[in-house]
Amino acid sequence: MIMGHLRFWIPGLVMVCVVVLGACVGSPRPAPGPSGEATQATEPASSDELESADAYLDRGIVAYNQGDFQQAITDFSHAIDLEPDNPDMYVNRGSAYANLGDAESAIADYDKAISLDPDYAEAHTGRGAIFYMMEDYQQALDDFNQAISLNPESTGAYYNRGLVYQHQGETDKAIADFQKVLEIGDAPHWQQQAREHLSALGVETEPAPAEETGVAEAEPTEETAETEDAEEVVGEGGEGEEDEEGEETAEALPTPLATVATAAEEPEAEEAEEAEEAEVTAEGEESEEGE
């Protein structure tokens, strides 16, 4: 049974011309244009019938980034019809299927990508993430281990393997993998997720840099200093609610919504912001009552 709201890593989309490109975290990776500079699909083509696999690929990526995964699958399928031996097309469609919760179709596409290119690390990571969603933890570990052997800098494989170890109670191994995500340092969102898991496991980490959280650190003022003092007093009360919530979060299984930040992360970010505002309001009321 799938519970909770944790996220696992599915490879981001890939855009290709000739050379197979590795997947990135959370967004499509553009292919180099004729001048050597990266190009990015920003608007879908107007015609329903396109002339090339790349045109369908570009339009599919636009649909994918807009959260229209069914349209993305349609376009990626057209691209596959035109280039049936391109493993990237199958990885992209597999990621779209994963976002719709169609595990069987996603695995079939990752299987096909791996049959075309056995050394495709991101395909192993994507398939492993689906096996984890299906609670087939040994198959998931096999894929994550293979992905890491093919690409020792695979953030997604380390993060996902850490989730498996954490779920299985192998705390030391989980900590090592989450720390590896921070060490590689190429995926801010998943670094933040790794910090949260480490915190739930009782491991202190360095504060997240501004580029990871998206929030610049403000200069302290008298007002903020007073607020921090009040928060410290509240913390000394030993309520432990945050720790308990952390444990519940750490035990929850993930949902397949990790591939695209725009489709998966914004609602959660809004909820977190509302919760933070409510907490600040509650602290202010408690302070006034104490006075």
Pull the structure tokens for residue 217. 């650190």
202 vs 211, higher pLDDT: 202
* 291 within domain boundaries: no
pLDDT of residue 229: 44
Is residue 81 scored above 70 in pLDDT? Answer: yes
SS3 62: helix
The pLDDT, as a whole number, for residue 190 is: 87
d(CA 87, CA 146): 17
Q: Which domain holds residue 168?
A: 11-214+235-266
Answer whether residue 284 is part of any domain.
no
Average the pLDDT over 70-76 and give the result.
97
Strand partners, 38: 32
Please check whether residue 84 lies inside any domain of the structure.
yes
CA-based torsion, 242, 245, 251, 255: positive or negative:
negative
Residue 220 lies in a domain: no
Q: Which residue has the higher pLDDT, 206 or 21?
A: 206
Task: Tell me how many domains the chain contains.
Answer: 1
Domain-located, residue 91: yes
Q: What is the pLDDT of residue 239?
A: 38
Say if 279 falls within a structural domain. Answer: no
Q: pLDDT band at 187, cuts 50/70/90?
A: confident
Q: What is the CATH number of the domain that holds 66?
A: 1.25.40.10
Give bridge partners of residue 193 from the DSSP assignment. Answer: none
Measured CA to CA in angstroms, residue 92 lies from 28, 154, 184 at distances of 9, 18, 24
pTM, two decimals, is 0.63
Nearest to 41 by CA among 28, 25, 26, 22: 28
In a domain, 139, yes or no: yes
Contact 121/147 with Cβ under 8 angstroms? Answer: yes
Could you tell me if 82 and 53 are in contact, meaning their C-beta atoms sit under 8 angstroms apart? yes
